[in-house]
Amino acid sequence: MKKGILFFLSLVLVIFSCSNPTILQENKEEQQTTKTMLAPEKISFAVVYSTVIGLNHPSTGVLSPVNEASWATATWTKGANFNGVDLEIGVYAPSATKLLLEVYEVATGSNAAYDYWMQKGSDGVWRAKLAQAPDKTLYAFRAWGPNWTFNSSWARGNSNLGFVTDVDSQGNRFNPNKVLFDPYAKELSHDKETPAMTAAGEDGGMYGTGSALYKTVIRREYDTGKWSPKSVALKADGVSFGMKPQIADKDNIIYEAHVKGLTNSDSVTNLTTILSGISGFETIANVPAAYKGTYKGAGYMAKYLKALGYTTIELLPIQETANDNNPTTSSGGNFWGYMTYGYFAPDRKYSYDKSLGGPTKEFKEMVKAFHDTGMEVYLDVVYNHTGEGGTWASKSDTREITSFSGLANQYYYRLTGTNNEWYYDGTTGCGNQVNGNSDASRGLIIDSLTYWLDVMGIDGFRFDLAYTLGRRADLGYAYDPNAPVLLDIQNLGQTKNAEMIAEAWDCQGAGVSSFPPKWGDWNGDYRDVMRKFIKGDGYKPGTYYSFGDVFYGTYNGYYDGGQGGPQKSINFLVAHDGFTLTDLVSYNLKYNTQVWPWGPSDGGNDNNLSWDCGGSQSLRRQQVKNLWAIQMFSRGTPMSVYGDEFGRTQNGNNNVYNLDSIATWNNYNMINTDSPDTVMSAQGQHNNLGTDGHADGKNGLFLFTKFVNNLRKNHVALRQGDYSVPITIKKEDGATGLTDADKCVWVRIDGSTKGDSDFLVFVNTYTAQVSYKVPKPEAGKKWVRIIDTATWAEANDNYWDSSTGWSPATDADQWYGVFPRTVVVFEKVASVTDTTPPTVSVTAPANNATVSGTITISANASDNIGVTKVEFYVGNALIGTDTTSPYSISLNTTTTSEGTNTIKAKAYDDANNSTEASVNVTVSNGTSGRVRTVVFMQKETVSGQDIFVKGGHDSGLVPTYYPSMSEPIIYNNTINTTTAAIKANDGSLDWGSESALDWTCKPGTSPYHDTNNITYANSGYGVDPENLWGMHYWKLDVDMFGAKGDWFEFKAFMRQGTTEWWENNITQTGTPQATINHWGKKGYITQCAYGANWANFTALP
């Protein structure tokens, strides 16, 4: 894993990564993709209110302090969050003695327009609140502390007043000359170095400390205010990220990609022509040239990846990093982005809309594009170190101060040395290690993840060097699989239904499959075993696990006493840091010293377990397909790298972290050709794969990838969340056990146990043809060859549909000759045309039964060959499917209509013949039927807070018509994408689970929502004519069972990050009985306020 960062001056700074030392590049020429720095909403900053530091601000009106005397006891959260029209700011700096908030009119070129002395709370958070703050307000901080004390004569512009030392024995590195951005900033205005900065003769050396000179000024005294990145305060923009697909992790097929590399090639503007004639890509659109390499451009690729069979795109880091000065005509800089600065901020470089607020909106629009196609979006995140790096040139007093180190150095970082003057980087190789044990770091990590989940719409994360996060200070930084931050992350994933995936190693250790059971991780054992096995090193090629172990799902690593499962094993063969799949079979050694655009790159692993196939292009094509087939049939979650689907090459460079070039961009012109490597031959691309054996003008590897991906996607037997599907692994005779040196493996997957097909997978890594046993199928079945990767089969792209593939005789065991270094797959299907449908009957509930609450629907089904599934319906609405006998599902009848309903069971066989049977039932969940019921609760929340209600009845107050403490509910408005998932799984107002509320405002109180027609009726939130009172009224709009005027109880439940709390007890008068909860009336609008004892009731029609 290689990380690089831009650094400055003539000073040479070397940073070591896990596999690669990097000489940091000097500034390069201005790029066309430079981020634009725009001012916030226009206000006048012309007035100077005071020349005294901290007092230059208006006393009333826009950006004036709000109740300044209360700041020290306030409790609002970290970051900049709008509370109505006012802006609340909090920043963690427990050892600081003074902290100055600065507000800027423009991001660069000028000093702060206003400044304010923030006040410190008992929690170490400094706070300020500004009135009527404009959206996109630019702000930053200056800090003083024990190592640099406050002097009232200090002024902006290179001052040394108050200086004691660059770093003290506690690790403090406060320096008021270094303007600091907010670690919680939602966006950063620009990078620490930009082309404009370079053009002005400046560089990143200004951010350093120590006694060396920068531009004739002692470095520590150089004031960075005119160039430092500024934090951007953003109001909610109302942009939707769509409905999260909530894909089960067992069903995932992951595509790892760089957001720029995905669409920066000119070929994306011609996708419709390139993909013409290939089934499944009919709705693909060309990416407009202006959107190349952007979030907006990436959104266009959702349908492409969906058609290829992928469920999930995993993006390399897009949190703000220093890449504005990355060159595009030579190697240098940090293309991959593993040096994070802004953990809440999407990188402005990748946004087509580079205005303030633009990247946030455009990123969510990209996520929505994927969600709208049914795909999920994961982010690669880097919490093990930050972009600030470590000390410079082995000088403990010299390091960059841009944010974390200037606010809470010893809390965010792992320090070492007698006087805490050094940064420990042995685990990350990137200059520093984040102290994942500290409250500051744990809080930032969870708050950041929660923001990306709740606000930006992300579905999961891959954690760079996650092993580092598990290193505990109180254990001498030894790894602990139950380290608090790892459990925090696991709990967040469970709460938010988000996948958490570890890179389960760092530079000083590895713990593959050692993380808490609900984590997934990159299975490095799978990678190493498969790489060695496929090139002929044997069944157990000197590794801890054998081929069979990792193919089976690495049971010993991921079963976790039944709490884990094979889906937690991310089965990958290659990743961004290393060879591509094509290069893995094309090079024996890395080739990183070649010239631009394929290099040069430093570092890179010297032990790649690769093989160049003796130079044979046909064998390389065969080996790529072998690996792809094995990966898609292995138990676990497969992941591949962008461009591998058509054979992208990096010409043998295995560490392209510093290349923003055709070597790291997908060129889709490689799809519509039989000779993909000739597409960029003029640019020096190596011809690794040659010409395939099917002269159809289409890349055979691309077609094969599409086939095997979708084969996996469409077969439940290949997508399991446990180890229940039997997998038998033997020698080629299907009976004899394997030895470590064996090169021929016979695999049987008994998918019929799950109502799916059985499969045979024959893998021959030997140098000669070997005969494999095809067992006699049972009556009515046959084996069909669907894959053969041998060169002879290239004329058919090495695959066949099960309805057209060749079948051996069925009267006895047969033998199939598998060519050298070949994978063959057979699928068992019905042997004759089956026209006999199954039989089915509904066994429960009984016909004409009266039902209520949650019931079980059961059916018996049989078939002359076999039942594949039984579907259950209420009326014509499908409510569930069962693939195993006895066939049954549960139904919450409160979600159906009262009165007579038809329940239907429909059975299918392997030939898709079907039969249905039905019964009629009477649903009776209440003596008085349904009544619409509405609650409006007033509560002004802050960013990151979630509000719900729980309720029903206290014990002893249960109404006779529904014998439970809970109240069945049916939501009347489910179009709010933020709350839709909760509503879909919520059938009752109860005390154990959360019911969803939607934010509303009174017409005329929010110009933004009024102007943009964001209403409760069309968006599920916003302007609502039933809200007669004002802003921030949260609405519960449901049907309840009972009579108009019946009472029910409820109370708010809050969550922020991993912190949860109930609303305080309520003492409401005029209710049937005194309790500690709010009371509402069925058939009424109940108006109340969070924490208040009053309620108003208005009867509904």
Active site residues: 464, 503
How many whole angstroms separate alpha carbon 355 and alpha carbon 790? 53
E strand or H helix at 788? strand 781-788
State yes or no: cis peptide before 597, omega within 30 of 0: yes
How many whole angstroms separate alpha carbon 820 and alpha carbon 496? 48
Q: How many other CB atoms sit within 10 Å of the CB of residue 1076?
A: 14
How many whole angstroms separate alpha carbon 558 and alpha carbon 535? 26
Strands (E), 108-160: 114-117, 119-120, 125-130, 137-144
State yes or no: cis peptide before 288, omega within 30 of 0: no
Backbone angles phi, psi at 1051, to 5 degrees: -150, 145
**Torsion of Cα atoms, 395 then 397 then 398 then 401, to 10°:** 150
Contact by Cβ (8 Å): 601, 592: yes
What is the layout of strands, in order, in the sheet containing 867-874?
Answer: 849-851, 914-923, 899-909, 867-874, 877-882
Tokens 């692994």 belong to 729
State yes or no: cis peptide before 886, omega within 30 of 0: yes
How many whole angstroms separate alpha carbon 466 and alpha carbon 858? 45
How many whole angstroms separate alpha carbon 581 and alpha carbon 1001? 54
SS3 354: coil
How many whole angstroms separate alpha carbon 842 and alpha carbon 861? 9
Tokens 């377990």 belong to 609
How many whole angstroms separate alpha carbon 971 and alpha carbon 132? 36
Q: Given the DSSP bridges, would you call strands 254-257 and 312-315 parallel, antiparallel or unpaired?
A: parallel
Contact by Cβ (8 Å): 287, 297: yes
E strand or H helix at 945? strand 945-952
Contact by Cβ (8 Å): 143, 91: no
CA 673 to chain centre: 34
State yes or no: cis peptide before 845, omega within 30 of 0: yes
User: Residues 274-307, buried b or exposed e (16+ Cβ, 10 A)?
Assistant: bbeebeebeebeebeeebbbbbbbbbbbbbbbbb
**Torsion of Cα atoms, 520 then 526 then 528 then 530, to 10°:** -150
How many whole angstroms separate alpha carbon 110 and alpha carbon 223? 11
How many whole angstroms separate alpha carbon 752 and alpha carbon 777? 12
E strand or H helix at 615? none
Contact by Cβ (8 Å): 28, 326: yes
* Cβ partners under 8 Å of residue 862, min gap 6: 838, 839
How many whole angstroms separate alpha carbon 505 and alpha carbon 684? 35
Backbone angles phi, psi at 1003, to 5 degrees: -50, 135
Residue type, position 766, single letter: Y
563 DSSP 8-state letter: T
Tokens 């930032």 belong to 444
Contact by Cβ (8 Å): 292, 264: yes
**Structure-block tokens of residue 335:** 């293309």
**Structure-block tokens of residue 338:** 């593993």
